[in-house]
Chain A
Amino acid sequence: MTDVLDPPVQLPPPPPSHEMLEEHGHDEHHGPTGILKWITTTDHKIIGLSYTVTSVIMMIIGGAFAEIIRAQLASPNGTLVSLSQYNELFTMHGSVMIYLFVGPFAFGGLANIMVPIQIGAPDMAYPRLNALSYWLYLTGAITMLSGFFTAGGAANFGWVAYAPLSNSVNTPGSGADLWIGGLLLTGFSAIFTGVNICATVFYLRAPGMTMFRMPIFTWNMLVTGILILLAFPVLTAGLIMLYCDRHFGTHIFSVQGGGVPVLWQHIFWFWGHPEVYILALPFFGMATEIIAVFSRKPVFGYKGMVFATLTIAALSLGVWAHHMFTTGVVLLPFFSIMSLLIAVPTGIKIFNWIGTMWRGEIWFSTAMLMAIGFLITFLIGGLTGIYLASPPLDFFTHDTYFVVAHFHSVVMALLMAAMGGLYYWGPKITGYLLNERIGKMQFWFLFIGTQIFTFPLYVLGLEGMPRRVAIYPHDPQWKTLNDWSTFGAILIGISTILFVVNVAVSWKKYPSGDNPWDAQTLEWFTTSPPPHHNFYRLPQIRSERPTWDHNHPEHRSLTHGKHPELTEDGLEKVHSS
């Protein structure tokens, strides 16, 4: 084990062995095995793992589309793909990444596995609904991607499907219908997962696990769940309207029948902006946990962090029209100030992350490197987002590569946090560590590649290169910057390959023990992998770090910067007043 980990510290003794093990895992031994077990399971850990694996495969598919896009743009008159194939590629790249990778990875994958364990619950509140979510997601993903095998090709109206381009006159192919159908299915899977997460957090917390003792990741997932419940039904309704317009002769979004095309944008972004935070909050949570654990400190400003998350969620419901500044039909100042204000809670989070590292003992494991990479890359994406919240600057950069660069800084940051989450929680899920040396190589390829990939795109946008163009013959000088960007994309591609290699190389090789990182939250108290219903026994839960308190009883959080008063037997003195 020591040959993969290089902690310059002594690991703490593992949590006490599980002698008091009650006979519990009966259905584990008598239930079906193999593929039948996988299909019939309602265990949140297996469902979560299926989600994780499926969504990582989606990331690889979406990444492959991205590499083709970049290869096409390597010359001003690229002929690698046709104009219509190019439209399909970026549409499906965006759709796969947003709908089938980031979201499902976060709330179907890691959250599904971790939230119940973090709060000491035996499973999700509705295990069968959870299984249904996964199968809906898988079906939706296959449905959406099968568009490529239809005569007209896959959907090609961008991942936002603006009406009236997405109506049956302008996009008659069945690829578009499969896109709508696939998105409806994954949308329902998200809604059911949202229900499940909220119910689990509200009803299945272990004794002692009060709301303000929940780990930040669980907090963020709760808020994500609430946002899902508020936002996704709107998308579902919109998609049904779009489908009716396409096939049942309604005219909700078409001018000819008295409809309003911009209505689609309102509906789409009323879901779409909260969606941005539905995607981001889980990864904020992962990064928070990782930074605290590898700095050996509690999360700095825990309550401020929760407050910031709630503020972000509340504001995110009132900013959708910042995607519509250039439509000329929205109230600019209102949406501008609301969008600018989101920078405040986001800034609080960034400073809290730094505060957590401050005066810590930082261990640069792969997970921690990924979290720091997330922090820096997200900072860049956040700062460039502030420009876009200012309507005059948005008029100037909207629909150019500046926007593509901005949101790739953000999503690549999320990708880093996702990788950090896999390196951090992988051992908990599987019982085995990933190779740290390959992991660090992966990090540097990903981090440097991301900056080389996005920086030229910012400049290209400012020089006027529009997004979603397959060729740029009138301005061939843009080739140099595009080539740099493509080079960065190749580095990112290599990092993804390194990840796959790492999984293959480390397969069942480096047993991790229950708590390899000296981590703090409840999931690290149980075995790795956890038993069927997660816990044989629970520690006392007296803070948001029960495992840490158990392992380091003399190093509890100094909540207000002071050492707690201790009684003779070393316990914190309780003031009853």
Chain B
Amino acid sequence: MQTPALPPQGATVRARRWRHLRRAVALPLAALALSGCTIPSFYASEGATSSSKSVYHLWQWFSIGAVIIGGFVCILVAYAVLRYRRKGDHIPRQSQYQLPLELAYTIVPILIVFGLFAATLVVENKETANPATKVTINVNAFQWGWKFTYPGTNAFVYGQTTQNPEMIMPAGENVHFNLTSSDVIHGFYVHDFNFSRYALPGVRNEFTILAQNEGTYFGQCTQLCGLYHSLMYFRVKVVSQSQYAAWIASFNNPADEAAAKAAAKTTYQQTSSVVPTHGSTTKFGR
């Protein structure tokens, strides 16, 4: 099969090792130089709410830590692997303990961990705070769709799977959410909010969101909820406060309201009898 290949010796090894090392160091440095002085995004995004921005910054700081620690460990491994490859039948020193060193790599990580925890607490407390709010939206998830109601008003939004029900919320104002589920567990997730929360049956999950940028954002159920989980979409439309008020007011025509409610009811009943239950082999998109 193969002849035992002795690793090259002396100068060639050193030259090759140096080339390896140079490449290993040059790449991250180049990346750092290219990114300039702004902190890279590490594939996350700032999002549209006040807490999504804090989460994004937390993400960046964690990532910087991860890159430094991961890079450091990788360099150590690369150095060990390149420097200490077996060259002959030599038995190295059999050293086993190095207490100060071992203590160092116990204590330093503990300090790092508490640093990360402190940063976590700051953002977490901000994100889970429940300030007083004027606007409340009740979000109800069900198999397979979303219903958004606005307590104290006649407004509501309702839709199933790919109908993309569009929740309207005002910008620049704290909005209180009550999240519930009528059947199984669903996940309320809006990518641009950098936030998700389970909709649990029998539990009312409350949180507050301050949307800062107007726009339409995509949302989707993230917790497996059965057959049509892949299609449980919704949208969030953040509008100015005056547009929001106008939208709420548009529901105050009693005739419209009754018609809309009836429509919603029938769609729900129709689809819930038509939607096949589990175990069926209905092909989607055929």
Stretch at the interface among B228-236, B248-256, B261-269: B228-236
Q: Evaluate whether A172 and B203 lie within 8 angstroms (CB atoms) in the complex, with A344-B113, A384-B66 already known.
A: no
How long is the Cα–Cα vector from A458 to B76 in the complex, in angstroms?
Answer: 25
Q: Evaluate whether A170 and B94 lie within 8 angstroms (CB atoms) in the complex, with A3-B1, A328-B205 already known.
A: no
Which residues 101-144 in B have Cβ within 8 Å of A in the complex? 101-102, 105-106, 109-110, 113, 116-117, 119-121, 123-124, 127-128
Contacting residues, chain B, for A84 (C-beta < 8 A): 227, 278-282
Contacting residues, chain B, for A302 (C-beta < 8 A): 96-97
Asked if B285 is at the interface of the complex by the 8 Å CB criterion, the answer is yes
Asked if A241 is at the interface of the complex by the 8 Å CB criterion, the answer is no
Complex contact A395–B195 (CB within 8 A): yes
Asked if B87 is at the interface of the complex by the 8 Å CB criterion, the answer is yes
Asked if B200 is at the interface of the complex by the 8 Å CB criterion, the answer is yes
Asked if B157 is at the interface of the complex by the 8 Å CB criterion, the answer is no
How long is the Cα–Cα vector from A5 to B91 in the complex, in angstroms?
Answer: 19
Shortest beta-carbon distance from B9 to chain A in Å:
11
Contacting residues, chain A, for B283 (C-beta < 8 A): 79, 82-83
Stretch at the interface among A216-224, A357-365, A488-496: A357-365
Complex contact A395–B196 (CB within 8 A): yes
Complex contact A260–B202 (CB within 8 A): yes
Asked if A341 is at the interface of the complex by the 8 Å CB criterion, the answer is yes
Across the interface, name the chain A residue whose C-beta is closest to B51: A392
Interface-central residue, A302, A340, A379, by most chain B CB under 10 Å: A340
Shortest beta-carbon distance from A305 to chain B in Å:
10
Asked if B223 is at the interface of the complex by the 8 Å CB criterion, the answer is yes
Contacting residues, chain A, for B95 (C-beta < 8 A): 297, 300, 359, 557-558, 561
Asked if A565 is at the interface of the complex by the 8 Å CB criterion, the answer is no
Complex contact A470–B284 (CB within 8 A): yes
Contacting residues, chain B, for A5 (C-beta < 8 A): 4
Shortest beta-carbon distance from B70 to chain A in Å:
5
Asked if A393 is at the interface of the complex by the 8 Å CB criterion, the answer is yes
Contacting residues, chain A, for B81 (C-beta < 8 A): 357, 362, 372
**Which of B70, B277, B284 meets A383, CB within 8 Å?**
B70
Interface size classification for chain A: 35 or more
Across the interface, name the chain B residue whose C-beta is closest to A399: B222
Asked if B221 is at the interface of the complex by the 8 Å CB criterion, the answer is yes
Contacting residues, chain B, for A343 (C-beta < 8 A): 109, 113
**Which of A158, A329, A358 meets B84, CB within 8 Å?**
A358
Shortest beta-carbon distance from A195 to chain B in Å:
33
Interface-central residue, A7, A364, A462, A464, by most chain B CB under 10 Å: A464
Asked if A164 is at the interface of the complex by the 8 Å CB criterion, the answer is yes
How long is the Cα–Cα vector from A85 to B69 in the complex, in angstroms?
Answer: 41
Q: Evaluate whether A392 and B203 lie within 8 angstroms (CB atoms) in the complex, with A437-B2, A467-B222 already known.
A: no
Contacting residues, chain A, for B6 (C-beta < 8 A): 8
How long is the Cα–Cα vector from A364 to B85 in the complex, in angstroms?
Answer: 8
Q: Evaluate whether A79 and B286 lie within 8 angstroms (CB atoms) in the complex, with A386-B66, A395-B194, A559-B97 already known.
A: yes
Contacting residues, chain B, for A469 (C-beta < 8 A): 229-230
Contact with B along A536-574 (1 / 0, CB 8 A): 000000000000000010011111110000000000000
Complex contact B116–A83 (CB within 8 A): no
Asked if B55 is at the interface of the complex by the 8 Å CB criterion, the answer is yes
Asked if A206 is at the interface of the complex by the 8 Å CB criterion, the answer is no
Asked if A576 is at the interface of the complex by the 8 Å CB criterion, the answer is no
Complex contact B281–A82 (CB within 8 A): yes
Contacting residues, chain A, for B66 (C-beta < 8 A): 383-384, 386-387
Residues of B within 8 A of A (CB): 1-7, 42-45, 51-52, 54-55, 58-59, 62, 65-66, 69-70, 73-74, 76-77, 80-81, 84-99, 101-102, 105-106, 109-110, 113, 116-117, 119-121, 123-124, 127-128, 183-185, 187, 189, 191, 194-198, 200-203, 205-207, 218, 220-231, 233, 277-286
The 6 closest A-B pairs by CB, nearest first: A152-B279, A464-B191, A255-B202, A399-B222, A469-B230, A9-B89
30 A-B contacts, Cβ less than 8 Å apart? A4-B1, A6-B4, A9-B88, A9-B89, A77-B285, A82-B283, A83-B227, A84-B282, A152-B278, A164-B185, A165-B226, A262-B203, A297-B94, A326-B187, A328-B206, A354-B77, A354-B80, A361-B92, A375-B77, A383-B66, A384-B66, A390-B124, A395-B194, A396-B52, A396-B195, A398-B196, A400-B189, A462-B44, A474-B218, A560-B99
